Structure 1
Amino acid sequence: NLLHLDPDERVRTFLRADTPKDGDYLVIATRQGMVKKTELSEYSNIYRNGLIAINLREDDRLTNVRIADDHHDIILVTRNGMSIRFPESSIRPTGRNTMGVRGIRLDDDDEVIGMITTDHDDSLLVVTENGYGKRSRLEDYRPQNRSGKGLITYKVTKKTGKLVGAAQVNDESEILIINDQGIIIRIPASEIPIQGRNTSGVTLMRSRDGKVVDMSIVIDEEDDIEYDENPDQEADIDDTDSSFYDDSPSENEMDQSAYDDEL
């Protein structure tokens, strides 16, 4: 094994890290909305048993890790469709064995499912457990103070299910989506429509084939990645329902007009 794990541990993510430079940081987000920033140089010498990266509360789990340079913003996305954007520089650097600070204030039934670092030319992609997804322009997410409630980023309904993944993409990106039946599809990001924040998107993967459990970005076009080429499982984006292109709620979906978009 590359890393010795305790019985209740599992690998959450991996990153390619070059030789650390001054101003390079490792930013960590947890399910309960905590974020912390530590100098990347503190991870230069990692033992076979690993190093402590964050001091987690008993009811919390690590969810995302990114390399940052204090020149961008961070966007946290939650399972119930909320998000918050704030500067990387608003997180005070701390040592490895610390808990960090609050990034977003969550409702009791919510948790963080994604973290991205912004690029002005990219968009934010979100995918739900029932196979719906959409892209939104990063400019639609104005910077806020860290530890607030944030803004609505996705209109969650019974039909769509809750969010399971979020990623930063551009028109050249390709997306892998996998469900709990082991079926995987590959979709060009350019085929996923860009919509406003408070919308439900379009069908990316049919829910009758199982619940979506994860998504990933294809890093290298020439990587040898196997995926299902069954025509019935190809990325069949359903854009026949015009309600997906309208910010107004459809008749059978939850009416969120009473909600304040900026909580």
Structure 2
Amino acid sequence: MKLAEGDRIKAFVTLKDFHPEQNIIMCTRNGLVKKSPLVAFSHPRSNGIKAIKLKENDELIDARICETGDDILLATHQGKCNRFSEGAIRSVSRFSQGVRGIRLRNEDFVISMTIATAQDQLENGNPNASTILAISENGYGKRSPISSYSVTKRGSMGVITLKTNKRNGYLASLMLVRDDDDLIIITQGGMIIRQRISEISVVGRNTLGVRLINLASNDVVRDISLVHSEPDEESIDKEVENLKANPALNLEELEGSDTEEEFLAEDEDNEEMEEPENEELDNEEDNE
């Protein structure tokens, strides 16, 4: 993709197809949000197509795919967060500039956007439910339940997500996480650490948080990323034991898994082979 002078890539999304029920949500530094149908971007050009009309001294912060029932959370530099329904945003063309998503004061600006899907909201209260992770520039962070961020009106000032003071510094990032995710923190000075999300306590929304990384003098958190963990050997072994204890389990649900081949092989070793009674039975076994 050819970029104009001074332009740079701010966000990207991955998708298999352009589903007519999905939309692209975009947010800007000055707190504007815009929703456009995903299919409106189905015919790109080599030099790109217009995605949003920006006002002077504004810039794109993020772009995400959303569906009906999702909630949008906008987080600001000074630690505020506004949660509102995607239904509060009217779908418009690619050439529109959007509407106010959060009201900003005292030279505040938006730093991140998070989408809480309908499934995330339904799972709230589960031990492994999604939670909101907030991290400050000085390396402090915390997790809070999604329910602690009340749904408000689009364009309101929102609520405090992390107290910004001398200890914490300003808010660096806000994102949706799960217990089995890993967190990667990158600092301006080039330090990188990785830790499990499950090691970060779930606390109230309006709290200071705990130290996640020790920073050198004048260093600050610059970027945060999530790594979704793969199932380990122990979890796979437990799944095999569960299969042995539940022989009536439908094996079709495990098609393509690492345990299916092992489970079927054990069955073949333990069962006596029977001769098919007729040709029709042979054909049925071949089809299986």
TM over 0.5: yes
Match of 1:148 in 2: 156
Equivalent residue for 1:71, pick from 48, 69, 72: 69
Match of 2:224 in 1: 215
Deviations 1:202-234 (A, max 9, x none): 111112162111111124649xxxxxxxxxxxx
Greater Cα radius of gyration, structure 1 or 2: 2
Matching of residues 1-263 of structure 1 within 5 Å: 3-118=1-116, 119-120=120-121, 121-208=129-216, 210-219=219-228, 221=230
Following TM superposition, by how much is the alpha carbon of 1:22 offset from its aligned partner in structure 2, in angstroms?
Answer: 2.0
CA spacing shift, 1:219–1:97, aligned 2, 3 Å: farther
Tell me the amino acid that sits aligned with residue 184 of structure 2: L
Deviations 1:154-191 (A, max 9, x none): 11111111011111001011111101111111111111
Aligned partner of residue 63 in structure 2, secondary structure: strand
Give the unaligned 5+ runs of structure 1.
223-263
Deviations 1:62-88 (A, max 9, x none): 111110012211111111111111111
Aligned partner of residue 28 in structure 1, secondary structure: strand
Q: In 2, distance between residues paired with 1:29 and 1:124?
A: 19
Query: TM-score, with normalisation over the residues of structure 1?
Result: 0.81
Q: In 1, distance between residues paired with 2:145 and 2:169?
A: 22
Name the Cα RMSD after superposition.
1.4
CA contact (8 A) 2:180 2:229 kept: no
Q: In 2, distance between residues paired with 1:145 and 1:36?
A: 15
CA contact (8 A) 2:136 2:171 kept: yes
Q: Percent identity?
A: 39
Q: In 2, distance between residues paired with 1:33 and 1:112?
A: 6
CA contact (8 A) 2:31 2:109 kept: yes
- Shift >3 Å, 4+ stretches: 219-222
Q: In 2, distance between residues paired with 1:213 and 1:93?
A: 33
Deviations 1:120-163 (A, max 9, x none): 23111111111111111100011111101111111111111101
Following TM superposition, by how much is the alpha carbon of 1:15 offset from its aligned partner in structure 2, in angstroms?
Answer: 1.2
Query: TM-score, with normalisation over the residues of structure 2?
Result: 0.74
Aligned partner of residue 112 in structure 2, secondary structure: strand
Give the unaligned 5+ runs of structure 2.
122-128, 232-288
Q: In 2, distance between residues paired with 1:116 and 1:192?
A: 19
| Structure with a larger share of its residues in helix | 2
Aligned partner of residue 224 in structure 2, secondary structure: strand
Aligned partner of residue 20 in structure 1, secondary structure: coil
CA contact (8 A) 1:52 1:96 kept: yes
Q: In 2, distance between residues paired with 1:196 and 1:220?
A: 26
Q: In 2, distance between residues paired with 1:63 and 1:200?
A: 25
CA contact (8 A) 1:167 1:217 kept: no
Following TM superposition, by how much is the alpha carbon of 1:7 offset from its aligned partner in structure 2, in angstroms?
Answer: 2.4
CA contact (8 A) 1:129 1:162 kept: yes
Number of residues paired by the alignment?
Answer: 220
Following TM superposition, by how much is the alpha carbon of 1:56 offset from its aligned partner in structure 2, in angstroms?
Answer: 0.8
Aligned partner of residue 64 in structure 2, secondary structure: strand
Q: In 1, distance between residues paired with 2:61 and 2:230?
A: 26
Tell me the amino acid that sits aligned with residue 76 of structure 1: L
Tell me the amino acid that sits aligned with residue 197 of structure 1: R
